[in-house]
């Protein structure tokens, strides 16, 4: 059966990808950001997940307002890198996992999450700006991704609670996938920032730190808040934090935050947090005989 090893919450500001592409690791203005991703990269290199499931938002790049999906799942073999006005970044196209993605679509829809599905469309910096910091694509990506797009651009956007519930449903779907896959779930966006009006440039470090604490300890409290609260506390684009809630919903309540970094150089608070699931060796050993007994019983009944 598929297993969820842990999760990652990360900002997805385009400049994170630009700093990577321009090799700014030793530039003092960027070094604290690179350093913050090193433990995440090391953890992934050690755990070797097969698939990263991404909750992210498109930035009116691939999807346009003539039809802007609330939740949309990428089910194809490959996802090109989007052109956002200057040509695509020079990184390989992302590899999908169609079998897992189809299973997710079936499971989510049967679980009353009527998600749209898409194939072959490009993904923008909402996925790959942070990705290169912890999953370097040289010579090619170390594994596959399943992207789940969430509308955080055009209100009405899904509620924080709905996004948390989406995470719970994605967890049920992933854990019911029969193949032995190792999966890490990722939520991108935030933290505090606003990109419009005279309030543009707004940040709130106190709220950001509180969010980083609550997302680990008490995500239900975050899920119960309204968008107006997120916007007041974290700016209009702080609403992106609902994608962290989807990620957190896909983890068990016992998942532990083992690393975090916070860096606020310019307009957007750049954060990354790494969560690890407890290893359930004892539980597994206890469950096995019971399942075998049940299987014998059902065979006998048949």
Cα atoms found within 13 Å of the Cα of residue 274, Cβ hemisphere only? 17
Nearer to another protein, 164 or 177 (CB): 164
Q: Quick one: tokens of 98?
A: 């169609």
How many residues of this chain bind another protein (CB under 8 A)? 41
Taking CB under 8 A as the rule, does residue 199 contact another protein? yes
Question: In the bound complex, what is the minimum distance in angstroms from residue 112's beta carbon to another protein?
Answer: 21
Question: x/- string (CB under 8 A) for another protein, residues 41-60?
Answer: ------------------xx
Residue 98: closest CA among 71, 68, 119 = 119
- For residue 12, give the 3-state DSSP assignment: coil
Q: Which of residues 157-176 bind another protein (CB under 8 A)?
A: 159
Nearer to another protein, 38 or 84 (CB): 84
Taking CB under 8 A as the rule, does residue 224 contact another protein? no
Taking CB under 8 A as the rule, does residue 26 contact another protein? no
Taking CB under 8 A as the rule, does residue 61 contact another protein? yes
Phi and psi dihedrals of 103, rounded to 5? -60, -40
Nearer to another protein, 111 or 229 (CB): 229
Taking CB under 8 A as the rule, does residue 278 contact another protein? no
Is 193 one of the annotated active-site residues of the chain? yes
- Residue of the chain from 227, 234, 247, 272 that contacts another protein (CB under 8 A): 227
Q: Which of residues 65-104 bind another protein (CB under 8 A)?
A: 65-66, 82-87
Is 125 one of the annotated active-site residues of the chain? yes
Nearer to another protein, 159 or 252 (CB): 159
| Set 12, 103, 128, 193: catalytic member | 193
Question: x/- string (CB under 8 A) for another protein, residues 117-156?
Answer: ------------------------------------xxxx
| Set 12, 125, 128, 227: catalytic member | 125
Decide if 276 contacts 6 (C-beta within 8 A). Answer: yes
Decide if 8 contacts 127 (C-beta within 8 A). Answer: no
User: Going by DSSP bridges, is the β-strand pair 78-79/94-95 parallel, antiparallel, or unpaired?
Assistant: antiparallel
Taking CB under 8 A as the rule, does residue 288 contact another protein? no
Rounded to the nearest 5 degrees, what angle is found at the Cα of 57, between the Cα atoms of 52 and 59? 135
Cβ density class 169-187: b for 16+ within 10 Å, e for less: bbbebbeebeeebebbbbb
- For residue 89, give the 3-state DSSP assignment: coil
Question: Cα(121)–Cα(81) distance, rounded to whole angstroms?
Answer: 9
Left (φ > 0), alpha (ψ -120 to 50) or beta: where does 217 sit?
A: alpha
User: Going by DSSP bridges, is the β-strand pair 144-150/51-56 parallel, antiparallel, or unpaired?
Assistant: parallel
- Residue of the chain from 1, 99, 195, 292 that contacts another protein (CB under 8 A): 195
Query: Which listed range, 41-49, 97-105, 128-136, 192-200, lies at the site for another protein (CB under 8 A)?
Result: 192-200
Q: Quick one: tokens of 5?
A: 């090893």
- Residue of the chain from 267, 271, 274, 275 that contacts another protein (CB under 8 A): 267
Q: Determine whether 139 is exposed, middle or buried from the number of CB atoms within 10 Å of its CB (0-12, 13-18, 19+).
A: exposed
- For residue 88, give the 3-state DSSP assignment: coil
Positions marked catalytic: 125, 193
The residues that touch another protein, with contacts defined as CB under 8 A, are: 14-15, 27, 29-30, 59-61, 64-66, 82-87, 153-156, 159, 194-201, 226-228, 231-232, 236-237, 264-267
């Amino acid at each position: 059966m598929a297993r969820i090893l842990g999760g990652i919450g990360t900002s997805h500001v385009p400049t994170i990808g630009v700093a990577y592409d321009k090799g700014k690791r030793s530039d003092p203005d960027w070094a604290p950001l690179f350093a913050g991703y090193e433990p995440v990269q090391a953890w992934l290199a050690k755990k070797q997940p097969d698939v990263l499931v991404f909750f992210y938002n498109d930035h009116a790049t691939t999807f346009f307002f003539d039809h802007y999906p609330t939740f949309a799942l990428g089910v194809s073999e490959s996802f090109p890198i989007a052109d956002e006005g200057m040509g695509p970044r020079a990184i390989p196209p992302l590899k999908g996992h169609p079998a897992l993605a189809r299973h997710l679509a079936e499971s989510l829809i049967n679980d009353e999450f009527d998600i749209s599905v898409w194939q072959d469309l490009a993904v923008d910096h909402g996925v790959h700006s942070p990705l290169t910091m912890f999953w370097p694509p040289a010579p090619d990506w170390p594994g596959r991704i399943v992207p789940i797009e969430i509308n955080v651009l055009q209100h009405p956007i899904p509620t924080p609670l709905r996004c948390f519930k989406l995470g719970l449903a994605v967890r049920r779907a992933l854990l019911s996938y029969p193949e032995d896959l190792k999966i890490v779930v990722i939520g991108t966006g935030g933290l505090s920032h606003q990109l419009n009006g005279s309030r543009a440039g707004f940040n709130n470090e106190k709220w950001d730190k509180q969010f980083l604490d609550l997302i680990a300890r008490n995500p239900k409290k975050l899920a119960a808040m309204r968008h107006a609260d997120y916007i007041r506390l974290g700016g209009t684009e702080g609403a992106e934090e609902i994608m962290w809630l989807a990620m957190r919903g896909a983890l068990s309540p016992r998942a532990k935050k083992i690393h975090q970094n916070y860096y606020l150089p310019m307009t957007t608070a750049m954060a990354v947090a790494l969560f690890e699931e407890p290893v359930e060796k004892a539980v597994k050993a206890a469950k096995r005989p019971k399942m075998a007994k049940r299987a014998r019983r059902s065979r006998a009944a048949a």
